Structure 1
Amino acid sequence: MEAAAKLTNQQPAKKHPPGLYLLFLTEMWERFSYYGMRGLLILYLTKELASGGLGMKESTAITIYTLFTALVYITPLIGGYLTDQFIGKRFAITIGGIVMAIGNFILFAMNSVTGLYLGLILLIVGNGFFKPNISTLVGELYEKDDARRDGAFTIFYMGINLGAFLAPLICGYLAEDYFKTTVGGTIQYGYKYGFLAACIGMIIGQIIFNVLGPRFLGEAGLKPASKVAKEKAGSAAQAPLTKKEKQRTAVILILASFVVFFWAGFEQAGSSLTLYTDKFVDRNLFGWTVPTSWFQSLNPMFIILLAPLLSAFWTKLASSKRGDLPTPTKMAFGMILLGIGFVAVILAVMQTGSDDKALTVKANMIFIVMTYFFHTVGELFLSPIGLSMVSKIAPIKLASLLMGVWMASSFVANLLAGTLAVYTESLGYLEVFSLIGVVVILFGLILLGLSKKLTAMME
């Protein structure tokens, strides 16, 4: 922590430490790997065997997709605990990266149901070591009261989304276009080559992290968090949590409960929104059919465009006389914006209906674009702000564990998201999307009402 502080103090007041940009690149390539694979997964599961997929029913495919995207957010609890107690963050990030690269390679090499399960298990385990630690490592580069912290996490979030933007384009192009062939009148897709690209992206990220880490990160992340806390505070590190630390921990748990509803709606992107786009949206663009997986690049593209503006805005607001908006307030606005995004796709469903066999007119792509736009703005108000908050107010000896708890809210959210996505078959897209929109706006308004009390508990 001391070395990290030196890195920060060496920079001019308005500049970020170089370690931030190293972590930016590392996370960018990890997210390239994750979103490259995830963007293809639901299509890979549902396409027929003759078309290069596994030929599963939609309900089965959604269940597998849901369990995978849920479990990648529960294993950070385990990885965060092991890191806090026994290993350094940087070693955990390396372990996680290697295991995830192997998982993607198995998806490429085996191309079967057995390979699917083995590959997904390794991706889940690797993510548990990687995900909570790289986020808390960003926090170690800044002092607790550094006004640049929210801006730093927004910049870091750009790295996440630069990888997420490139991944569906490259992996989707390889799978749905470049390696697409026609055999006996049947189109075959090259999904396994998309998984290979995801594997290569993960390897690149690990090379960058391990080669440049010693130069730009110093001592940050080398020791277990519990050891750092003991060295800094001595016997006080072993003492029970103070009243204020308990209050701050409670705030993290309360806000984590609210964001469950945000992510349950947001995660429709990889399941119900992808399936709806594939069947009901007119993807013809000047005579060329846009690959379905490419629509998942809209969210990260908007983040790349908007994140610098919001980062500068938060920094300027924090240094103004008025002061920054409270974290709970920002997150409440994020939930409301997500609900507004569902209004756009609801308008599309009102045109097309939910039965693809009775489809007479397809929806314009602009509805999906607007949905992802509002979801993205909502995400920027909520997700990087939440990461910054946890790194700032969590007791140091529980930093990685509580980051894991924060991410575990997405475990519950993805289970809920999958349940809702399955119901689109029986209830219809209109009913499910309307329910999600109403609920997230309602909880956003409730959180807005609680903001003042939660802010007082955080201080």
Structure 2
Amino acid sequence: MEAALKVRQQSKEPAQQSKQKHPPGLYLLFFTEMWERFSYYGMRAILTLYLTTALVSGGLGFEEGLAASIYGFYTGACYFTPLLGGYLTDRFIGKRLAITIGGITMALGNFVLFAEQSRWALYLGLALLILGNGFFKPNISTLAGDLYDKNDKRRDSAFTIFYMGINLGALFAPLVCGYLAEDFFKTTVNGLVHYGFKYGFLAASIGMILGQVAFNALANRYLGDIGKKPTGYTPSKKKVNQPKAPLTKQEKRRTAAILILAVFVVFFWAGFEQAGTSLTLYTQYFIDRQVFGWEVPISWFQAVNPVFIILLAPIISMLWVKLANTKRGDLAIPTKMGLGMILLGLGYMVLVLAVLQTGSDEHHILHKAPLLFIVVTYLFHTLGELFLSPVGLSMVSRIAPAKLASLLMGVWLASTGIANILGGQLAAFTQTLGYLEVFGLIGIMSIFFGFILLLISKKLVNMIE
């Protein structure tokens, strides 16, 4: 805490004005996370296409249902390893060292995917990406939280800004990596199309390296001593500050609230993360991608969500700040999250309307839905994400017991891991049950659980406070 105060006091602005500004360390973490997300979303945007494209066309030739399962397992595992990374950070290594270890490991993983196009290289590359993510993911978020006092009203605003860094990287990643894979390095020989997926993976690796160079060069200047020591380390000899001190009754209630909300988060992300699997495949086959005679690359649709995030995040951030300064106060965190789930469900209802307009026989696609349907779907999903995800990160960093801060952040992210694995299985069902049935089920369940969360919101607020 002293380090955090020291960083904030480095500003030469008057005290009253500095309270309204965010510390410069937030923007360093913003750009570090931006490059990591560039790496992650760059390879993710082309992963399903890489898996399902035929061997002779530069892919690995997996059947679509199996590819969806592999994708779900990979993205899910990326949210389980933060449990290990959080545990090690709480006890043995500083958050900044963990971020560096994770960044280097992820860069190597993407480089393996670039260097060798085979199934063994796929599994090795994904394993390195999963392991590196475990060190990086929980610590970058909790490090952002360390810049603020527990009751600082700027926290939700700060995490929304931080979330923009995530989505700035997520915006450029599909455009750059997707363009390299689907257009720039696309060749045609004897009528056979060959895609340059490996160059998309290379770009993702370079992005990760750039982020780590900047982070390690500027961390001491903008973060001071924050994140150098393990979370459980303290120079104080007071028993209450020792890592082995038992949790208080309030800490136990708050931990329970985090775990309850994590269950609801599973249902949200299982629907949201269809973007890289079933929504990608549906867009490939059933969305009319022609715009003024030019066909939009499939992977570029992965940039629609971050575009909306960047446009809407400042508005949502200002909304939370404005509500916090009113007599009524801000919306409760569980209320925001319940509304987020309902918005996700409404997005799927729009997609159901699109599916009702499309159709195919055994050999041909009879009719494609207008591009606007998938764009509006992503708009609702984005609004839901902004209501749920950044405030969830802010909540965990604020109310988690200090000795369990990184571990509980890992648990929070692990719930997203379960969701991704579940989402992969749901995506696989689209190949047997059909898109209408799966999209309709996801939409109805999201709205249902959103209303349940609204009903128990007051009880959860009492546990948090």
Task: Verify same fold: TM over 0.5.
Answer: yes
Q: Which residue of 2 aligns with 1:399?
A: 405
Which amino acid is the alignment partner of residue 254 of structure 1?
A: I
CA contact under 8 A between 2:70 and 2:424: conserved in structure 1? Answer: no
Q: Which residue of 2 aligns with 1:231?
A: 236
- Residues 95-244 of structure 1: matches in 2 within 5 Å? 95-228=101-234, 231=236, 234-237=239-242, 238-244=244-250
231-240 vs 120-129, which deviates more? 231-240
Give, in angstroms, the shift of residue 359 of structure 1: 2.1
Q: Which residue of 1 aligns with 2:259?
A: 253
131-140 vs 55-64, which deviates more? 55-64
Which amino acid is the alignment partner of residue 314 of structure 1?
A: W
2:285 is aligned with 1:283: no
2:462 is aligned with 1:456: yes
Partner Cα distance (1:354, 1:128) in 2: 42
Give, in angstroms, the shift of residue 411 of structure 1: 1.3
Partner Cα distance (1:167, 1:64) in 2: 21
Which amino acid is the alignment partner of residue 376 of structure 1?
A: T
Secondary structure in 2 aligned to 1:226? coil
Q: Which residue of 1 aligns with 2:52?
A: 46
Partner Cα distance (1:60, 1:236) in 2: 49
CA contact under 8 A between 2:360 and 2:367: conserved in structure 1? Answer: no
Secondary structure in 2 aligned to 1:391? helix
RMSD of aligned alpha carbons: 1.2
CA contact under 8 A between 1:265 and 1:417: conserved in structure 2? Answer: yes
CA contact under 8 A between 2:6 and 2:224: conserved in structure 1? Answer: no
Give, in angstroms, the shift of residue 19 of structure 1: 0.1
Residues 300-320 of structure 1, C-alpha deviations (whole Å, 9 max, x = no match): 110000001111111121122
Q: Which residue of 1 aligns with 2:328?
A: 322
Partner Cα distance (1:232, 1:387) in 2: 30
CA contact under 8 A between 2:360 and 2:366: conserved in structure 1? Answer: no
Q: Which residue of 2 aligns with 1:79?
A: 85
191-200 vs 231-240, which deviates more? 231-240
Secondary structure in 1 aligned to 2:193? strand
Q: Which residue of 1 aligns with 2:40?
A: 34
Give, in angstroms, the shift of residue 378 of structure 1: 0.3
Sequence identity (%): 67
Secondary structure in 2 aligned to 1:187? strand
Residues 316-336 of structure 1, C-alpha deviations (whole Å, 9 max, x = no match): 211221111100000000000
Q: Which residue of 1 aligns with 2:383?
A: 377
Give, in angstroms, the shift of residue 7 of structure 1: 2.1
CA contact under 8 A between 2:345 and 2:447: conserved in structure 1? Answer: yes
Q: Which residue of 1 aligns with 2:8?
A: 8
Which amino acid is the alignment partner of residue 283 of structure 1?
A: R
Partner Cα distance (2:280, 2:162) in 1: 26
CA contact under 8 A between 1:354 and 1:428: conserved in structure 2? Answer: no
CA contact under 8 A between 2:359 and 2:366: conserved in structure 1? Answer: no
312-321 vs 125-134, which deviates more? 312-321
- Residues 263-282 of structure 1: matches in 2 within 5 Å? 263-282=269-288
Q: Which residue of 1 aligns with 2:27?
A: 21
Partner Cα distance (2:196, 2:393) in 1: 36
Which amino acid is the alignment partner of residue 231 of structure 1?
A: S
2:89 is aligned with 1:65: no
Give, in angstroms, the shift of residue 412 of structure 1: 1.0
Secondary structure in 1 aligned to 2:93? coil
CA contact under 8 A between 2:359 and 2:368: conserved in structure 1? Answer: no
CA contact under 8 A between 2:359 and 2:367: conserved in structure 1? Answer: no
Secondary structure in 1 aligned to 2:188? strand
CA contact under 8 A between 1:354 and 1:429: conserved in structure 2? Answer: no
Give, in angstroms, the shift of residue 349 of structure 1: 0.5
CA contact under 8 A between 1:346 and 1:433: conserved in structure 2? Answer: yes
Secondary structure in 2 aligned to 1:225? coil
Give, in angstroms, the shift of residue 203 of structure 1: 0.3
9-18 vs 442-451, which deviates more? 9-18
Residue from 325, 333, 344 that aligns with 1:338: 344
Give, in angstroms, the shift of residue 6 of structure 1: 2.4
CA contact under 8 A between 1:334 and 1:382: conserved in structure 2? Answer: yes
Residues 343-389 of structure 1, C-alpha deviations (whole Å, 9 max, x = no match): 11111100113767342111100000000000000000000000000
Q: Which residue of 2 aligns with 1:88?
A: 94
76-85 vs 59-68, which deviates more? 59-68
Give, in angstroms, the shift of residue 93 of structure 1: 0.1
Partner Cα distance (1:298, 1:398) in 2: 36
Secondary structure in 2 aligned to 1:425? coil
Residue from 304, 312, 316 that aligns with 1:298: 304
Give, in angstroms, the shift of residue 66 of structure 1: 1.0
Partner Cα distance (1:434, 1:400) in 2: 36
Distance 1:231 1:111, change over 3 A: farther
CA contact under 8 A between 2:45 and 2:299: conserved in structure 1? Answer: yes
- Residues 425-436 of structure 1: matches in 2 within 5 Å? 425-436=431-442
CA contact under 8 A between 1:51 and 1:187: conserved in structure 2? Answer: yes
Residues 432-452 of structure 1, C-alpha deviations (whole Å, 9 max, x = no match): 000000001000000000000
CA contact under 8 A between 1:352 and 1:360: conserved in structure 2? Answer: yes
Give, in angstroms, the shift of residue 9 of structure 1: 4.3
Which amino acid is the alignment partner of residue 232 of structure 2?
A: S
Partner Cα distance (2:28, 2:237) in 1: 26
Unaligned runs of 5+ in 1: none
357-366 vs 207-216, which deviates more? 357-366
TM-score normalised to structure 2 length: 0.97
Which amino acid is the alignment partner of residue 324 of structure 2?
A: A
CA contact under 8 A between 1:259 and 1:409: conserved in structure 2? Answer: yes
346-355 vs 256-265, which deviates more? 346-355
